Structure 1
């Protein structure tokens, strides 16, 4: 068998069906639009994600015989209330704690240097003066880079403020019309697709519930984990509790890696505030209990078997899509990986089923 015949057989197997070729073009066009026009269309894509999340609440109200428009208004007003609470309460609190943390960074740096000197005095054979100087130099370089990033961020703050204003105005408007005219928008999008779309329908039906459950469940997980971490840090008297709680809540976006990364700032702040003491150990134990309950209780309850992916596949998806789309790539890494899995499993079966249906529909000659 030659390479040409092998390639021809592979093409005939997977791309001989017209629907498969159209689906491939639709997927390629969608990825291209997000990659090259993602920054330009960011408010629209953000509103699309939020409307997708809120649609579940609208459907829940309509199932309880609430009129469609009234359900949309109730959910939308609740969304605006949460948005205003975040803009007026949570964001200023986090910003103030971040500013205080940056102001106290030199003191923390000096405290860390004294801690290293103490370790060198206690264990001179394990920690040498050269190692201490190397660690101090590395920390100094990191502090310099952090200052440069803060300076560049402050210089571009005007553009960031304008972008924030655009988001705060456009996104709520887009969300309202996406919820209000959902059927019309979905009907228009479906009208652009070919009439024969059995394979697309099969893949969409398989993905719809999984993506919806994952995205909504992930938002609920962020809120629960962040809220529990906030009240736990408050009970221990840990400074910068809101900032650390937001970091811990967002760490659940990256499975396995996020929990390990969030441990470093929590341990650093607790160590600088309490020192190497029993209180420091209690904070780390409480943080470990939160992560254990999240992974062994909360995640199975929220997601069940909706997302059945190998851990290696999850890590590869996070690295790949996070490298392409940043935060949103990390957030949607698991749904996109699930989509690719559904395509791999449904594509050959869909084409074969289409051929079998076509053969059954042909009239039998007498």
Structure 2
């Protein structure tokens, strides 16, 4: 056993830079797990600044002074944030509350639909199965309604913290943008002066993660906006809520679109019934998903290395289980970072076994 461990240590940790990088990754992961909730505003601000830095860099390349570019991008970000908080968020919350109020009527209509299934397809589904499905759906809707009420009551003490975050996050974003080079140089001074592997990994991760995160934010905005316009034109109820779900569904490849299709189809069915209007809703939704997967994604992520679907699903499950929604959103960048680390990791030749005399 000792010889095996010594061989692994020689193969993967004989380089001093590799040992330092391993310790940094280990310490960073432990720090985020233990102090991530406490430093959530700072982490969120850093991520937002990382997304906006690409726009600042492009403006600077066109000849705009850096400070002016930072101020312009920050003002646009602030406008979007204020519009979301005071415009879109109350609308989504009101539609979610209205949907919870409509839940009893939806359940009654669902029961009427389900009660016809054993008569039309007696060999495929029984009345006991229909009753079990109805009871499960009723229980889930009851839990959703109870959660909405408890969330409304429990969120009152958190309003002060929310107001603090609304002020704190924009301030941090501005200073992260303005003093980005100073902060990067401060971190670089704590690293070894000779770090070719770290530089190579940093350039690869910076390129891949920056393209992915910025592209994914733009994809959410485009898909959500187009879905909202399409649903609004078709008279789809709860258009803002559904468009938000459809926009966020692009965060989880392969799985998100399949999951969000269910509420879109259910609400469209109960709003319009089986008919041409319902078919048009699903056709528009299908066209949006097809254009997103076949046109928008290749354009936005042309410079991002594609990961195997199994690797993507495993990354979503693993990082989502650790960090929740943030882990789901950054599952692919984190998987890309691990891929870059493994690709650049120095591997020495195995130790030669001593010759037997």
TM-score for both structures, normalised by structure 1: 0.92
TM-superposed deviation, 1:17: 1.4
Aligned length: 349
For the 8 Å contact 2:100–2:144, the answer to whether it is kept is no
Given candidates 289, 303, 325, the residue that maps to 1:291 is 289
Matches within 5 A, 1:40-189: 40-189=38-187
For the 8 Å contact 2:17–2:197, the answer to whether it is kept is yes
Q: Deviations over 1:259-310 (max 9, x none)?
A: 0000010001001101122221221122111111111111111101412210
Structure 2 distance, partners of 1:320, 1:279, is 40
Q: Deviations over 1:104-157 (max 9, x none)?
A: 111111111111223344444444322222122111221232233223312311
Matches within 5 A, 1:258-337: 258-337=256-335
Distance 1:190 1:212, change over 3 A: same
Q: Deviations over 1:181-227 (max 9, x none)?
A: 11111111111111121110111111111111000000010011111
Structure 2 distance, partners of 1:210, 1:131, is 48
For the 8 Å contact 2:97–2:148, the answer to whether it is kept is no
Structure 1 distance, partners of 2:144, 2:203, is 46
Counterpart secondary structure, 1:326: helix
Structure 1 distance, partners of 2:238, 2:144, is 18
Question: What's 2:242 paired with?
Answer: 244
TM-superposed deviation, 1:311: 0.5
Structure 1 distance, partners of 2:96, 2:235, is 17
Given candidates 173, 192, 217, the residue that maps to 2:215 is 217
Given candidates 12, 27, 49, the residue that maps to 1:14 is 12
TM-superposed deviation, 1:315: 0.4
Structure 1 distance, partners of 2:151, 2:35, is 23
TM-superposed deviation, 1:166: 2.1
Structure 1 distance, partners of 2:244, 2:104, is 23
Structure 1 distance, partners of 2:251, 2:263, is 17
- More off after superposition, 152-161 vs 337-346: 152-161
For the 8 Å contact 1:43–1:170, the answer to whether it is kept is yes
Q: Deviations over 1:222-281 (max 9, x none)?
A: 011111111111121110001000000000000000000000100010011011222212
Greater RCO structure (CA 8 Å; 6+ sep): 2
For the 8 Å contact 2:49–2:177, the answer to whether it is kept is yes
TM-superposed deviation, 1:95: 1.1
Question: What's 1:195 paired with?
Answer: 193
- The alignment yields a C-alpha RMSD, in angstroms, of 1.5
Structure 1 distance, partners of 2:236, 2:220, is 20
Mind listing any 5+ residue stretches in structure 2 that lack a counterpart?
A: 350-357
Question: What's 2:352 paired with?
Answer: none
For the 8 Å contact 1:270–1:280, the answer to whether it is kept is yes
Counterpart secondary structure, 2:158: helix
Structure 1 distance, partners of 2:158, 2:113, is 39
Structure 1 distance, partners of 2:275, 2:253, is 30
Structure 2 distance, partners of 1:82, 1:143, is 33
- More off after superposition, 261-270 vs 175-184: 175-184
